[in-house]
């Protein structure tokens, strides 16, 4: 088990190197660079900048170097924890990212917990009461949930809240708390605001997860070991929770590997629509303005979270499933 985890951890740096190269390729790909965009902005606002200054800036940022040199410079800095300077904000990228990272993670985790808290019981109910009225209702909700893009749901909820209740549900804080220092009141305010985006973000996942849970559990309920447990004289609900649910759960755990990362990147769209403090909108701006090192840094973090998510789910699966644990 320890060896298995160690192996996975050893591969992690190699994966990150591959990803970083691909990411660098992508952020380098747009024609022109930040300075071209910057000059254009300056020109449109009436001010101008001399060719010498541009050349100096280009040199300062290393934009005049060949591709591979730029990549190695970037990697070298990254290894020292230096994410470079945002060309647009003129601040260290590391600061910009870390300001948003905490809440990005909090939103994803909150949504994750919400998803599981809803999906698992719903799936269990549906599987143990197949073709019942509630099962049918849940099925309809599931289909619609999967079919509704996150941002549509966000738009609809925001519009209804605004049009019918005259409240603005954007942001993660009430206005008085936006710039306030951390306090219990602020945390409370955050918890009050986070559930709506959390729900919006998780709705498709909830629907999908409860479908998986239902299908798995239906499968497991037909296995002979369930008959064995019944033949022992166990109470039905206890038996269902202890045996088939436990087994139906395992494949679900392996979905954490893709679901958690999907939440991180999914929050990008919801955060943009609902105006949440999140690295998503930051990435969007960076991409549009060709703030390449900021974009690159954020993409790297997304990749890192993705790998860690997959690793976590594999380890968790090995922990709860003895068949995998013994083999690895």
Q: List binders of other proteins among 261-320 (CB under 8 A).
A: 261-262, 264-266, 268-269, 272-273, 283-284, 287-288, 295, 298-299, 302-303, 305-307, 310, 320
Site string for other proteins, 226-265 (x = CB under 8 A): -xxxxxxxxxx------x--xx--x-------x--xx-xx
Dihedral of alpha carbons 323, 242, 250, 256, sign: negative
Number of residues that bind other proteins (CB under 8 A): 73
> How far is the C-alpha of 63 from the C-alpha of 73, rounded, in Å?
11
Which residue in the set 41, 53, 132, 222 belongs to the binding site for other proteins (CB under 8 A)?
222
Residue labelled with tokens 């909108």: 281
Residue 293 or 302: the one with the smaller Cβ distance to other proteins is 302
How many CB atoms are located within 10 Å of the residue 73 CB? 14
Q: How far is the CB of 70 from other proteins (least distance, A)?
A: 16
Q: Which of positions 156-215 make contact with other proteins (CB under 8 A)?
A: 156, 158-159, 162-163, 168, 170, 215
Q: How far is the CB of 187 from other proteins (least distance, A)?
A: 27
Which residue in the set 1, 12, 17, 147 belongs to the binding site for other proteins (CB under 8 A)?
147
Which residue in the set 2, 10, 13, 29 belongs to the binding site for other proteins (CB under 8 A)?
29
> How far is the C-alpha of 296 from the C-alpha of 97, rounded, in Å?
11
Region label for 91, one of left (φ > 0), alpha (ψ between -120 and 50) or beta (otherwise): beta
Q: How far is the CB of 224 from other proteins (least distance, A)?
A: 4
Residue 51 or 140: the one with the smaller Cβ distance to other proteins is 140
Choose among 172, 182, 199: nearest CA to 278: 172
Say whether residue 12 binds other proteins (CB under 8 A).
no
Q: How far is the CB of 225 from other proteins (least distance, A)?
A: 5
Six-digit token pair at 179?
């710039």
């Amino acid at each position: 088990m320890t060896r298995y985890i160690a192996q996975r951890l050893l591969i992690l740096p190699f994966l990150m190197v591959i990803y970083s190269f691909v990411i660098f390729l992508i952020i380098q790909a747009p024609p022109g660079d930040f300075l071209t965009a910057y000059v254009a902005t300056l020109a449109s606002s009436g001010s101008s900048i001399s060719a010498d200054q541009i050349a100096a800036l280009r040199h300062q940022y290393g934009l005049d170097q060949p591709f591979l040199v730029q990549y190695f410079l970037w990697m070298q800095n990254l290894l020292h924890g230096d994410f470079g300077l945002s060309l647009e904000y003129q601040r260290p990228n590391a600061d910009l990212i870390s300001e948003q990272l905490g809440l990005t993670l909090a939103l994803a985790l909150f949504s994750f917990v919400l998803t599981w808290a809803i999906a698992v019981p719903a799936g269990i109910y549906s599987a143990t009461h197949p073709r019942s009225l509630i099962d049918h209702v849940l099925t309809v909700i599931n289909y619609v949930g999967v079919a509704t893009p996150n941002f549509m749901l966000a738009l609809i909820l925001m519009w209804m809240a605004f049009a019918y209740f005259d409240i603005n549900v954007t942001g993660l804080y009430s206005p008085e708390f936006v710039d306030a220092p951390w306090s219990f009141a602020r945390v409370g305010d955050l918890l009050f605001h986070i559930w709506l985006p959390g729900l919006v973000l998780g709705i498709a996942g909830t629907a999908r997860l409860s479908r998986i849970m239902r299908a798995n559990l239906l499968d497991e309920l037909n296995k002979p070991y369930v008959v064995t447990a019944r033949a022992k004289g166990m109470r039905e609900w206890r038996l269902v929770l202890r045996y088939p649910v436990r087994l139906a759960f395992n494949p679900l755990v392996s979905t954490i590997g893709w679901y958690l990362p999907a939440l991180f990147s999914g929050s990008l769209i919801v955060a943009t629509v609902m105006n949440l403090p999140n690295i998503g909108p930051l990435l969007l701006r960076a991409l549009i303005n060709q703030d390449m090192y900021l974009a690159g840094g954020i993409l790297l973090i997304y990749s890192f979270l993705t790998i860690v998510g997959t690793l976590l789910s594999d380890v968790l699966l090995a922990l709860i499933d003895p068949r995998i644990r013994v083999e690895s």
